[in-house]
Amino acid sequence: MARLFLVRHGNTEYNSNRRFAGANSDIELTELGREQVKRLRNRLADETIDFAYSSDLKRALTTAQITVGERNIEIMLCPELREMDYGEAEGLTFDQIKERHPDVADSIRSFSLQLTFPGGECFDRFCERTCTFLDRLEAHDPERSVLVVAHGGPIRTLICRLLDMDLKHWRQLRIDNASLTIINTYPSRNAIVNVLNDTSHLKGVEH
């Protein structure tokens, strides 16, 4: 059995302002985000982590570095774990997308699996790219524990794939900043969710 700790990065300015932060928005954590991640690090202090993977964007990598703490393990950077490429919608709020790209806003609202951002990725391609990450896990001893730090979209995608869920349920999964999801995986490709979107460690911290 392998244990996966799936972690979304801490708060960023774009999160606070409800802006679309995708693959090409390489922004830092806010002070709130750093405090959230420190709480997460404490939450995982007694857990064994054998390997650590992170999206190569700053907000995820900083989250991984803080979470790993003093453990003597290398954080392996994974571009495939980047958030979706929002193209011309990068940095916009939903209201701005409605104004500039009403057809895209309609697809977001209805959550069409054919959703495509102008100048960016289509949803299917994003999911295909994200799921290539699972090939990395195949190389590990199945008894190892793995930390995976990424973004809301990729984490939802990995959960759907690991649980053999239809991607139409993707949007029904809530993944908050600095949240923890724990999944046990088995050689038979079965997976069991132990914890989903846990933010109990953030009690008393705005999120």
The phi and psi torsions of 84 (rounded to 5 degrees) equal -60, 145
Catalytic, out of 83, 121, 151, 201: 83
Q: How is residue 158 written in tokens?
A: 């990995």
Do residues 170 and 156 touch, judged by C-beta distance below 8 A?
Answer: yes
Q: Rounded to an integer, what distance in angstroms lies between the CA atom of residue 124 and that of residue 64?
A: 27
Clarify whether 169 is annotated catalytic. Answer: no
Q: Rounded to an integer, what distance in angstroms lies between the CA atom of residue 88 and that of residue 25?
A: 11
Q: How is residue 80 written in tokens?
A: 């495939």
Pairing mode, strands 180-185 and 2-8: antiparallel
Do residues 155 and 6 touch, judged by C-beta distance below 8 A?
Answer: yes
Catalytic, out of 9, 101, 151, 201: 9
Clarify whether 9 is annotated catalytic. Answer: yes
Q: Which residues are catalytic?
A: 9, 83
